[in-house]
Amino acid sequence: MMKINTVAFPETSVLFPDRLVYDYHDSFRADFPDIENTTISQLVNTFFSGTPRWIKNLFILRNALVKLIGLKVPENNSAPVMTSNIEYQVGDALGFFKIIHMTQNECILGEDDKHLDFRISILKEKGTLTVTTTVQYHNIWGRLYFIPVSVFHKKIVPAMLRNTVREKQ
């Protein structure tokens, strides 16, 4: 089985300078020897479209629950279609993840809501793929919301990272 490592916040990430502002952050890394032959758009596409069924079901449940209390939910629960030639741009949306920043080696997705702001970095570096998540709470509801989310998050991100590397190798 492929090893996914918890690592320090990557200094090469666009999010790094603000790392002390975040209330929560984590980073997971996988070895990916042939990463140079894969574009950042392909990695983002595979990361979100290769989501295991159990994770999709959790998102459907999450969306149904948070809609009741007025939080943002995506218009539909479908994942993007995997296409080898897709090229994402700043402003594109993948569910409730909006692309905020994009370079050749990193894509920052996220959303700002009344209870918290979050960012996800998908960072391609020589021989590795790193996914970093940051969260900044706005109020007690953000903290309370993230308690159960953090439990699942620590299982979901490594699973999606593992699937991405497996699919692209």
Cα separation, 89 vs 101, whole angstroms: 8
pLDDT tens sequence across 85-115: 578 899 888 776 899 999 999 999 999 988 8
Looking at residue 18, the DSSP 8-state letter turns out to be: G
Tokens of 97: 């993840």
Q: What is the pLDDT of residue 169?
A: 72
Q: What is the pLDDT of residue 27?
A: 97
Cβ–Cβ < 8 Å for 117, 75: no
Other beta carbons within 10 angstroms of residue 117's beta carbon come to 17
Q: What is the residue-averaged pLDDT of the chain?
A: 85
Q: What is the pLDDT of residue 34?
A: 85
pLDDT tens sequence across 45-82: 888 876 667 666 766 766 676 566 666 666 654 444 44
Q: Does domain 4-168 have CATH number 3.30.530?
A: yes
List beta partners, residue 51. Answer: none
pLDDT tens sequence across 149-164: 898 889 889 988 998 9
| Single-letter residue type at 59 | F
Q: What is the pLDDT of residue 47?
A: 87
Cα separation, 124 vs 102, whole angstroms: 12
